[in-house]
């Protein structure tokens, strides 16, 4: 089907628009934007720069996607990019910035993520698949969000911090260290509260794996052992589970420390 573009929309001549794209009133597509098929862009949105929007993405009123990074070192001549996968939803007034030269030049967003109203993704962030950023969540630069993570409303994530696979951050939290996979953290600063039990129940993990995760968390975070000794013990006792190895690898690669 041909695209449906409102008569008040402004589209740059060097933009590429896929099939069956809807662009609402007073929206602006500026620069070498690439918009995949079946994308729906609402009213008063802005998509600009070297931005790629994957198939089936939705932008609601006032979303600003691809505006220059909020970094004093950024120059207009910098070649920086924003790459967005399929079926992502950007609700009202969400803002997403491309990368910076210093940070590698690319902000990457995977597939099937929900960015709720007024959330912000800063430069050089990497977001996986099936994540949820609730209202007014702010990601600083260079943040990594792994698959299936959920971040509660009004929370902020510090530069270079990581939020692990299938973890959950409680609302109004200040995340200044890494959040382990499968964990639930909350508070200011965010501290570990245990396993993300609700997330685990909703996943397809077996009961045996969930028991192994409980044992691993107890050894890693409640045994009083030094972190290196706790990691070694968990690897020896529970290392046959890929989910446990995921946690251990995450901890061993942490640069900001663990919440």
Catalytic residues: 123-124, 141
Structure tokens at 35: 């918009």
How far apart are the C-alpha atoms of 256 and 105, rounded to whole Å? 22
Contact 140, 158 (CB under 8 A): yes
Q: Which position has the token pair 């061993």?
A: 252
* Nearest of 240, 210, 244, 242 to residue 230 by alpha carbon: 244
Q: Which position has the token pair 């909703």?
A: 202
How far apart are the C-alpha atoms of 164 and 161, rounded to whole Å? 10
Contact 85, 107 (CB under 8 A): no
Beta bridge partner(s), residue 83: 52, 108
How far apart are the C-alpha atoms of 133 and 110, rounded to whole Å? 13
- Residue 179: phi and psi, rounded to 5, are -100, 115
Q: What angle do CA 37, 40, 45 make, to 5 degrees?
A: 125
């Amino acid at each position: 089907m041909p695209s449906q573009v409102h008569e008040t929309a402004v589209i740059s001549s060097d933009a590429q628009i896929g099939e069956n794209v809807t662009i609402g009133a007073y929206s602006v597509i500026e620069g070498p934007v690439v918009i995949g098929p079946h994308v729906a862009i609402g009213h008063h949105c802005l998509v600009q720069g070297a931005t790629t929007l994957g198939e089936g993405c939705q932008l609601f009123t006032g979303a600003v996607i691809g505006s220059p990074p909020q970094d004093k070192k950024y120059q207009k001549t910098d070649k920086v990019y924003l790459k967005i996968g399929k079926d992502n939803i950007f609700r009202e007034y969400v803002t997403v910035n491309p990368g910076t030269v210093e940070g590698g030049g690319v902000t990457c967003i995977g597939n099937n993520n929900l960015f709720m109203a007024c959330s912000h993704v800063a430069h050089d962030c990497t977001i996986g698949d099936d994540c949820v950023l609730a209202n007014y969540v702010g990601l600083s630069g260079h943040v990594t969000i792994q698959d299936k993570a959920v971040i509660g409303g009004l929370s902020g994530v510090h530069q270079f911090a990581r939020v692990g696979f299938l973890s959950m951050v409680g609302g109004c939290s200040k995340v200044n260290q890494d959040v382990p996979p499968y964990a639930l953290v909350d508070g200011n600063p965010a501290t570990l509260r245990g396993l993300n039990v609700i997330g685990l129940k909703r996943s397809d993990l077996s009961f045996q794996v969930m028991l192994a995760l409980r044992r691993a968390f107890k050894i890693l975070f409640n045994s009083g052992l030094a972190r290196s000794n706790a990691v070694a013990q968990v690897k020896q006792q529970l290392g046959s589970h890929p989910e446990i190895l995921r946690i251990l690898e995450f901890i061993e690669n942490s640069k900001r420390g663990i919440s």
